[in-house]
Structure 1
Amino acid sequence: MSATPHTSPFKSSGGLRRVLNAMRYSLQGLRAAITHEAAFRQELALAVVMIPAAFFLGRSLTEVAILIGTVISVLVVELMNSAIEALADAISVDTHPLLGRAKDLGSAAVLLMLLLTGGIWLAVAIDRFL
C-alpha cells in the first residue's frame, strides 16, 4: 500500500506484526507510566487493593464489573492525562495559557472520574451494608 498525502508513513499495514507491535507499544506505555508518573503509581496501588475488594463488595457479577470498571477507568483517564502533560511539556516547558489549559482539563477529567468512582463505590457499599 503506497502512502497517500493523507496517510502517515509511520502507520503499519496490519496483520500479526501490527498486533504484536501494538502490544509492545502498550506495554512500553504502561512501563513509562509506572516509571515516570507518581499519580499513576498511587492509583495503581489503590487498584491492586480495590479490584479484589470489588469481589467482596459486589453482590452480583454486574456490580463487580461496574466496581472494577470504574477503577480501570481511573487508570485509563490518568494515562490520557499523563499523555497530554507529556505532549505539552514536549512542546514547551515555558508557561503558555493553552498548554496550561490542556493540562488543567486533563486533571479535571481525572478528578471527575475519581469522584464518579468514589460515588459508585459508596452507593454500592451503602446498598450492601445499610
Structure 2
Amino acid sequence: MKPGATGIRRLINATRYSYQGLTSAWHHEAAIRQEIVLITVLTPLAIWLDVTTIERILLIGSLLLLLIVELLNSAIETVVDRIGSDFHELSGRAKDTGSAAVLITLLLVTMTWGMILFNHFY
C-alpha cells in the first residue's frame, strides 16, 4: 500500500490488492479453482438444507476456512519459489507444512459435513 494512505483510500487500496490476490490465485493455482468450485456448489446446498443456523455457519465456514488456508499455502509456496529453485531443506519443510495445513483443513471440512449430514439423515 502507498505510505500515508488513510481512511477510505486505505480501504479502497486494500480491497483492490485483495481482489488482485484472488484473481492471481485463480489464474495460477488449480487447487484454488477446485476449492472455489466446491464452495460454489456446496454453499447453496448448505443454505437449502434443513439445518440449524449454527450448523449452516459450520458448513459454510469450514469451506471458507479451507479457501483461506489454501490461499496462505499458495502464498508460502510463491515466496519459497521466488527465493530460488534449488532444493533447500527449509524450503521443503515450509511447503510441506503448508500442504499439511491444507490436508488438516480438508479433514475438518469432511468431518463437519459428514457429521452434520449424518446427524440429520440417519
2:74 corresponds, among 63, 75, 82, to 82
Structure 1: gaps (5+ residues):
1-8
Following superposition, the deviation at residue 56 of structure 1 comes to 2.8
**Is 1:93 the counterpart of 2:77 in the alignment?**
no
Change (3 A) 1:119 1:58: farther
User: In the alignment, residue 68 of structure 1 is paired with which amino acid?
Assistant: I
1:113 pairs with 2:98: no
Is the aligned partner of 1:15 residue 2:37? no
SS in 1 for 2:74: helix
Aligned to 1:43: 35
Alignment RMSD (CA, Å): 1.4
**Mapped partners of 1:104, 1:81: distance in 2:** 9
How far 1:16 sits from its partner (Å)?
0.9
Counterparts of 1:115 and 1:12, CA distance in 2 = 42
Q: Is the 8 A contact 1:57 1:125 kept in 2?
A: no
User: Which has the higher Rg, Structure 1 or Structure 2?
Assistant: 1
1:12 Cα offset (Å)? 4.0
TM-score, normalization by structure 2? 0.95
Give the count of matched residue pairs.
Answer: 122
TM superposition score normalised by structure 1 = 0.89
Identity of aligned residues (%): 48
2:30 is the alignment partner of 1:56: no
Structure 2 unaligned regions, length at least 5: none
